[in-house]
Amino acid sequence: MKTIIEPFRIKSVEPIKMSTRSAREFYLQAAHYNPFLIYAKDVIIDLLTDSGTGAMSSEQWAGIMRGDESYAGSVSFQRFESTIKDIMGFEYVIPTHQGRAAERILFSILCKDGDVIPNNTHFDTTRANIEFRGAEARDIVIDEGMNPSTDHPFKGNMNIQKLKDTVNSVGRDRIPLIMLTITNNSGGGQPVSMENIREVSNFARSVEIPFYLDACRFAENAYFIKIREEGYKDKTVRAIVEEMFSYADGCTMSAKKDGIANIGGFLCSNNPDLAQREKDLLILTEGFPTYGGLAGRDLEAIAIGLVEVMDEDYLKYRITSTGYLGENLLKLGIPIVQPPGGHAIYIDAKMMLPHIPPNQYPGWALACEMYLEGGIRSVEIGSVMFGKHDFEQKKDVVHAPMELVRLAIPRRTYTQSQIDYVIESMENLIKRKDKIHGMKITYQPKFLRHFSSHFEFLP
Ligand SMILES: *Cc1c(COP(=O)(O)O)cnc(C)c1O
């Protein structure tokens, strides 16, 4: 069959409130032209993030009812722990309320001032937690990973030569761990090959530096290996996952991604002393080590989600449906980061709206226009998010290298006709793209300005 269908049927529905363009003009103005400030009920298709927004299965909901809420020794924790040990093969499993809590605990213990942590590309919470410890988060993705239009099957790969150079110049004593983010979220959701994981691991072992995976989208990464890397097409995703983790000494994980849960995360390692120190810190801020800031029912939902996410029918649908959106946008002449990633499509707003300079935020303008056109919510990953503002000079002094708009696809949530609706909205929008205006910021806070700034369209 050529037609690939959603491999599930809908058991419970959540109505979407339809709206008119004039209603959306009102909602957007009331939100000060900041999509983060729009009420979710006024959004038709919400592609803001794939984090915690997926649909849980009937099995997961059944698990929620079974959740054991005992403070200590919960049966749900045993299920959670044994599932993770079984899939990922680590000795010690520490539950946390989200991925960033796992990061905070790991880096608080391992990093000191002046350390350097290499990664393909650090996710923003990872970077922030490392910098908060006074260390440097260094990105060393391959060159292809930094160019939106070059095609490469594994654009998330780490540049091994740069890794070696970093260790030589910084010294291994100042590198407490090496990380690889699978898939590379900040680099466009691009996968990392098994060969690259193996090479990074071999090198890390040769210089005795622990090697960690930021494993948020481990199943999507494994599926890309299966379909793109030589020698893997006949292996099961489960076997590929096991091989990927066999090269690592530990991992951080946000269960809101490939755990297909609404909340949760965990931290794994094979080192008993480190695990003990992590648990001590966990008790201080997250909770007792058999729940770590989560309810017993969340532990159940995650344990079930981690197995469901490796289902190959699901992954085939997941990767194909993301690609479907990307390919249809390309057909409309909309430039995107190529090839399509696993969880999201990234529109290159700099190329699509060349008449809007970075200091007028082309990505932000496009995100606002997509909301006005079809009630579609997306997120700018460009000069609003990464630009630096000088409050004395009253202007931006640094712009982002790329002006992207990310359309993140929640797991098992939207049907193909809803994605077709997004494509048709973009078709209407592209016809009037030359008339899209740039924007200015009318209020901005000192930190993380994209979440709360106010904007206006320029005349
Ligand atoms: C989401 C994410 C995190 C952080 O996880 P949270 O659960 O949001 O705290 C870390 N790394 C990557 C690659 C992510 O996508």
The answer to whether the CB of 254 is under 6 A from ligand 1 is yes
Query: Which CATH fold topology does 58-308 show?
Result: Aspartate Aminotransferase; domain 2 (3.40.640)
Tell which residue, 418, 430, 408, has the closest CA to residue 332.
430
Asked if the bond preceding 340 is cis, omega within 30° of 0, the reply is no
User: How many whole angstroms from 307 Cα to the centroid of ligand 1?
Assistant: 19
- Do 162 and 193 contact (CB within 8 A), yes or no? no
Q: What is the spatial distance between Cα 219 and Cα 196, in angstroms, rounded to a whole number?
A: 17
Contacts for 390 with CB less than 8 Å, ≥ 6 apart: 396, 397
Q: Which ligand 1 atom lies nearest to the CA of residue 185?
A: 13
The answer to whether the CB of 83 is under 6 A from ligand 1 is no
Q: What is the spatial distance between Cα 26 and Cα 360, in angstroms, rounded to a whole number?
A: 22
Contacts for 287 with CB less than 8 Å, ≥ 6 apart: 293, 294
- Alpha carbon nearest to ligand 1 atom 12, residue: 123
User: How many whole angstroms from 125 Cα to the centroid of ligand 1?
Assistant: 7
User: How many whole angstroms from 425 Cα to the centroid of ligand 1?
Assistant: 29
3-state helix, strand, coil in the chain (%, to 5): 45, 15, 40
Residue matched to tokens 């082309």: 362
The answer to whether the CB of 96 is under 6 A from ligand 1 is no
- Do 458 and 439 contact (CB within 8 A), yes or no? yes
Six-digit token string for 233:
């097409």
The answer to whether the CB of 262 is under 6 A from ligand 1 is no
Q: What is the pLDDT of residue 434?
A: 96
CATH 3.90.1150.10 fits 21-50+311-457, yes or no: yes
Tell which residue, 348, 432, 441, has the closest CA to residue 396.
441
Angle 354-360-366 (CA atoms, 0-180°, nearest 5)?
Answer: 65
The preferred substitution site among 117, 122, 185 for testing ligand 1, maximizing ligand atoms within 8 Å of CB, is 185
Q: Which ligand 1 atom lies nearest to the CA of residue 52?
A: 7
Contacts for 6 with CB less than 8 Å, ≥ 6 apart: 317, 321, 412, 415, 416
Neighbours of 239 (CB within 10 A): 13
Q: Which ligand 1 atom lies nearest to the CA of residue 263?
A: 7
The preferred substitution site among 98, 119, 125, 409 for testing ligand 1, maximizing ligand atoms within 8 Å of CB, is 125
Residue type, 121: T
User: How many whole angstroms from 121 Cα to the centroid of ligand 1?
Assistant: 13
The bridge status of strand 344-348 relative to strand 395-398 is unpaired
User: How many whole angstroms from 254 Cα to the centroid of ligand 1?
Assistant: 5
The preferred substitution site among 254, 263, 294, 381 for testing ligand 1, maximizing ligand atoms within 8 Å of CB, is 254
User: How many whole angstroms from 20 Cα to the centroid of ligand 1?
Assistant: 34
User: How many whole angstroms from 329 Cα to the centroid of ligand 1?
Assistant: 27
User: How many whole angstroms from 343 Cα to the centroid of ligand 1?
Assistant: 13
The answer to whether the CB of 412 is under 6 A from ligand 1 is no
The answer to whether the CB of 265 is under 6 A from ligand 1 is yes
User: DSSP assignment of 45-86, as one string?
Assistant: EE-S-SSS-SPPPHHHHHHHHH----SSS-HHHHHHHHHHHH
Q: Which ligand 1 atom lies nearest to the CA of residue 102?
A: 9
Contacts for 210 with CB less than 8 Å, ≥ 6 apart: 110, 176, 177, 178, 204, 249, 250, 271
User: How many whole angstroms from 250 Cα to the centroid of ligand 1?
Assistant: 16
Q: What is the pLDDT of residue 400?
A: 87
Where do the structural domains in the chain lie, given as residue ranges? 21-50+311-457, 58-308
The answer to whether the CB of 50 is under 6 A from ligand 1 is no
Tell which residue, 28, 15, 113, 78, has the closest CA to residue 300.
78
Six-digit token string for 390:
């000088």
Report in angstroms the alpha-carbon separations of 419 from 9, 13, 39, 328, 329.
17, 17, 21, 10, 11
Q: What is the spatial distance between Cα 90 and Cα 267, in angstroms, rounded to a whole number?
A: 10
pLDDT tens track, the chain, 459 positions: 888 899 999 999 999 999 999 999 999 999 999 999 999 999 999 999 999 999 999 999 999 999 999 999 999 999 999 999 999 999 999 999 999 999 999 999 999 999 999 999 999 889 989 999 999 999 999 999 988 888 899 999 999 999 999 999 999 999 999 999 999 988 889 999 999 999 999 999 999 999 999 999 999 999 999 999 999 999 999 999 999 999 999 999 999 999 999 999 999 999 999 999 999 999 999 999 999 999 999 999 999 999 999 999 999 999 999 999 999 999 999 999 999 999 999 999 999 999 999 999 999 999 999 999 999 999 999 999 888 888 998 899 889 888 999 999 999 999 999 999 999 999 999 999 999 999 999 999 887 889 999 999 999
User: How many whole angstroms from 142 Cα to the centroid of ligand 1?
Assistant: 22
